[in-house]
Amino acid sequence: MDFITALLEDYTLRTVALGTALLGAVSGALGSFAVLRRQSLLGDAISHAALPGIGLAFLITGSKYPLILMIGAALTGWLATAAVMVVTSRSRIKYDSALGLVLSVFFGLGLVVLTFIQKLPDARQAGLDAFLFGQAASLIERDVVTMAFLGGVALLLLLVLWKEFKLLSFDLEFAQSLFLPVRALDLMLTTLLVMAIVIGLQTVGVVLMSALIVAPAAAARQWTDRLGIMVALSMIIGAGAGVAGSLLSTESSRLPTGPTIVLCVTAVMVVSLMVSPARGILWCRLRRRHRNRQLRQEALLLDLYALAGQHRDRFHAHDESVLIIMRATRASVRKPLTALAERGWVRSSGLAKWSLTQAGVEESQRLMRERAS
Amino acid sequence: MTGFQLEIQLTAIIVAAACALPGTFLVLRRMAMMSDAISHAVLPGIVVAFFLTGNLSSPLLIVGGTATGLLTVVLVEAMRRTRLVREDAAIGLVFPALFSIGVILIARFAGDVHLDIDAVLLGELAFVPFDRWVVAGVDLGPVGLYATGVVGAITGLFIALFYKELKLATFDAALCAMLGFMPTMLHYALMGLVSATAVVAFDAVGAILVIALMVGPPAAAYLLTDHLHRMIGLSIGLGATAAVAGYWVAHVLDASIAGSMASIIGLEFALVFAFAPHQGLFSSWHRRRLQRWEFARKMLVIHLLQHEGRPEAVRECRVDHLQDHLQWEREFAGHLIRQSELQGLITREGVYLHLTAKGRSIAQEAMVS
């Protein structure tokens, strides 16, 4: 409770929370498309490739104004995706190699530029290092306004071209057959992804920004099969994890922001993978167990019915050992039989002997009909 | 050149060679991004091993790093197998999480010792000569040199011993499995070596340059040759060249050694990409141009052969008709005719074109094949 009042009253905290919520939401939205289009690792390449842009922008303009650094970052990030596209389309180099190469070479260039800047007799460069791992505490109002502006533009464009981007992501051939400008749209969506990444660099850092592209989207994907809901959920998860992580890291000076946000969003991801109702690992396992149990019970009931057919008295009691032999497995038959008894379909007639009830006979006949059809 | 400079360059060359060996297979198996994942994910293993031993040059660090490197491979595979996320997303989810754990562990518990985040990410090759291996008062050289040398030698030995199997697993995994060579085991062994290499290279050149050294030289070599053994050799050569050149560039610019090595690798790749003899941008452009001329020449002689000696030849075998019928530009057609005349395929008589014996045989041959 104290924390919430602190959040409402403390100006710095509010700025930080607002900024990280923003970047989480924007990267969540654009990340959804990246994940669906199997470009999860492109985000990693773009974010690493932003480093030389930041350095060069500072070197050329001498300014640390966020918009200028972001433009620099966006330019080299965009150049990196173009390089990946050219290398993969003009040679036999595969996508993964092109990504790895572009990522590391651009980052290396960035390091050269940064170390070069650090040697300059100019104190203003302090703080450029923060772009490696991010520093939420360094966010000030000016940064948040820039982020809001760029993020707002990106989200607006996403909304305007929603239908086209949806088609592009799910059915490229159909989009082509409608004479949509597929290449231009692809370029546009990639540019928006670059913008989303650039917005987060100051807070999360170039090294880990890719996680904020992939994880919220992958988590949201588990809860829904509809794109609109997925993007909305991904935005909420990204924003939530961003705020949680940045606040945790401002609480303790020994928690770097980027990694803390990444761990928050990874936690959401793992929980989603486990417990989402339709696809979650836990539910799937439970459902499979339930289904197996049901199948075992039905099989036993039908076995009893088949045995009963050998007698004039349909309610003749049979020994468990016979049922075990019929099942040809060593699995216990008592548990499923007890479950069947609870439903009133079989009756225990003393020592390990079981017989059908009237309801059980009817159920067996119903099952037989069902399986015959 | 001082002794220190020599040691730094020697270490850089050995790191480059040690990375190029497993890197070749990563590139060929389309798993280049696993080098990205593994080189980041070895961090928590190194940090935990460091906490346990309290010694930055303990071999246990290599064991710990290799363990988390392999853990990454296992986790990515497990996530992919649930079918809830695709492989690229699985890679993008696993390694940032592991790397974050490593960074937070360092920041919280080891901020004061010589294991800081920048060094981990960027490496500091220049510090390699300061950590020396001294036995009984005798200085045997920098520890980093030995560590990379040993891991590189083990990788080399593994590749030499299992060359045939690795080749088979890389180019035809199904056949490899069918013949009982256990591609999965080979895969994990290779990933283990990638992890161990990443750990020792980490200290010298940092996580990101490991990726550059593992992916860049093999990718460039892939454009230069179609033979696996030559590709490995070329990768080592390109990597070592970049190591030495990068060192001197960094020396001149007074900038990060790791960064300039990566930049030189980028430059090498760009040059190969543009000028490689068969796969390069220029040679394929040139080849396409040659093919265009070759094709046009064949079209011309076939066209002439079709109408030769027939009543319509007066109409069809004219220079200006080619422009309409074969839809060639005037300039192109003129150039083509001059060339074909020079090569003795056709003769020209006013506006009429006639096949020579040589042209006729080429046309007949082209139509058969």
| DSSP per-residue string spanning A222-248 | TT-S-HHHHHHHHHHHHHHHHHHHHHH
CATH number at residue B260: 1.10.3470.10
Predicted pLDDT of residue B351: 78
Looking at beta carbons, which residues of chain B come within 8 Å of A279?
Answer: 84
Looking at beta carbons, which residues of chain B come within 8 Å of A273?
Answer: 79, 82, 84-85
In this complex, do B261 and A90 lie within 8 Å of one another by their Cβ atoms? no
Domain check: are B336 and B205 in the same one? Answer: no
What backbone torsions phi and psi does residue B132 show, to the nearest 5 degrees? Answer: -105, 155
Predicted pLDDT of residue A49: 93
| E-assigned strand segments in chain A | 318-319, 346-348, 353-356
Domain check: are B180 and B214 in the same one? Answer: yes
How near does any CA of chain B get to the CA of A291, in Å? 19
Domain check: are B159 and B220 in the same one? Answer: yes
Name the most confidently modeled range: A117-121, B105-109, B156-160. Answer: B156-160
Predicted pLDDT of residue A7: 63
Choosing from B219, B253, B279, the residue where a domain stops is B279
In this complex, do A133 and B103 lie within 8 Å of one another by their Cβ atoms? yes
How near does any CA of chain A get to the CA of B356, in Å? 40
Range of the domain at A270: 2-274
Tell me: the pLDDT tens digits for A264-283? Answer: 999 999 999 998 888 888 88
Tell me: the pLDDT tens digits for A319-349? Answer: 887 888 777 666 677 788 888 888 888 888 7
Q: Distance between CA atoms of B266 and B208, rounded to whole angstroms? A: 13
Looking at beta carbons, which residues of chain A come within 8 Å of B222?
Answer: 92-93, 97
> Is the pLDDT reported for residue B294 higher than 90?
no
Domain check: are B172 and B300 in the same one? Answer: no
Q: What percent of chain A has pLDDT over 70?
A: 94
Domain check: are A64 and A211 in the same one? Answer: yes
CATH number at residue B357: 1.10.10.10
Residue A5 pLDDT level (bands cut at 50, 70, 90): low
Choosing from A274, A295, A322, the residue where a domain stops is A274
CATH number at residue A229: 1.10.3470.10
In this complex, do A41 and B269 lie within 8 Å of one another by their Cβ atoms? no
Domain check: are A268 and A293 in the same one? Answer: no
Predicted pLDDT of residue A93: 92
In angstroms, the Cα distances linking A8 to A222, A332, B221 are 33, 61, 58
Q: Could you tell me the two tokens for B189?
A: 């062994």
Domain check: are B228 and B314 in the same one? Answer: no
Q: What percent of chain B has pLDDT over 90?
A: 37
Domain check: are A250 and A167 in the same one? Answer: yes
Q: Distance between CA atoms of A87 and B223, rounded to whole angstroms? A: 11
| Cβ proximity of A114 and A128 under 8 Å | yes
Predicted pLDDT of residue A126: 58
Choosing from A241, A274, A307, the residue where a domain stops is A274
Residue A125 pLDDT level (bands cut at 50, 70, 90): low
Domain check: are A82 and A8 in the same one? Answer: yes
Domain check: are B195 and B302 in the same one? Answer: no
Residue A127 pLDDT level (bands cut at 50, 70, 90): low
Mean pLDDT of B113-128: 64
Non-local CB neighbours of B336 within 8 Å, separated by 6+ positions? B293, B296, B297, B300, B328
Predicted pLDDT of residue A328: 65
Domain check: are A162 and A263 in the same one? Answer: yes
Selected residue of A54, A112, A197, A223 to mutate for chain B interface (largest B Cβ count, 10 A): A112
In this complex, do A269 and B211 lie within 8 Å of one another by their Cβ atoms? no
Domain check: are A256 and A294 in the same one? Answer: no
Q: Decide which of A103 and B126 is more confident.
A: A103
Q: What is the dihedral of CA A215, A264, A227, A172, to 10 degrees?
A: -10
- Which of A206-210, B7-11, B64-68 has the lowest average pLDDT? A206-210
Name the most confidently modeled range: A59-68, A352-361, B26-35, B52-61. Answer: B26-35
Residue A230 pLDDT level (bands cut at 50, 70, 90): very high
Looking at beta carbons, which residues of chain A come within 8 Å of B208?
Answer: 48, 103-104, 107-108, 111
Tell me: the pLDDT tens digits for B27-77? Answer: 999 999 999 999 989 989 988 988 888 777 778 888 999 999 999 999 999
Task: Out of A87, A105, A259, name the one closest to residue B104 (CB).
Answer: A259
Looking at beta carbons, which residues of chain A come within 8 Å of B35?
Answer: 100
Tell me: the pLDDT tens digits for B238-258? Answer: 999 999 999 999 889 888 888
Range of the domain at B100: 3-279
Domain check: are B81 and B119 in the same one? Answer: yes
Looking at beta carbons, which residues of chain A come within 8 Å of B284?
Answer: 90
- Which of A311-315, B110-114, B208-212, B306-310 has the lowest average pLDDT? B110-114
If you average pLDDT over every residue of chain A, what do you get? Answer: 86
Domain check: are B237 and B148 in the same one? Answer: yes
> Is the pLDDT reported for residue B301 higher than 60?
yes
Predicted pLDDT of residue B125: 72
Predicted pLDDT of residue B112: 54
Residue of chain B whose alpha carbon sits nearest to that of A44: B92
Domain check: are A254 and A294 in the same one? Answer: no
Predicted pLDDT of residue B362: 85
In this complex, do A112 and B250 lie within 8 Å of one another by their Cβ atoms? yes
Predicted pLDDT of residue A252: 72
Choosing from B279, B302, B335, the residue where a domain stops is B279
> Is the pLDDT reported for residue A106 higher than 90?
yes
Domain check: are A255 and A312 in the same one? Answer: no
Number of domains in chain A: 2
Residue A33 pLDDT level (bands cut at 50, 70, 90): very high
Tell me: the pLDDT tens digits for B149-175? Answer: 999 999 999 999 999 989 998 888 888
Choosing from B223, B247, B279, the residue where a domain stops is B279
In this complex, do A40 and B92 lie within 8 Å of one another by their Cβ atoms? yes
In this complex, do B88 and A38 lie within 8 Å of one another by their Cβ atoms? yes
Domain check: are A308 and A264 in the same one? Answer: no
Predicted pLDDT of residue B245: 95
Selection from A7, A11, A10, A18 nearest residue A146 by Cα: A18
Predicted pLDDT of residue A122: 64
Task: Out of B86, B122, B215, name the one closest to residue A111 (CB).
Answer: B122
Residue B117 pLDDT level (bands cut at 50, 70, 90): low
Choosing from A274, A300, A331, the residue where a domain stops is A274
- For residue A185, give the 3-state DSSP assignment: helix
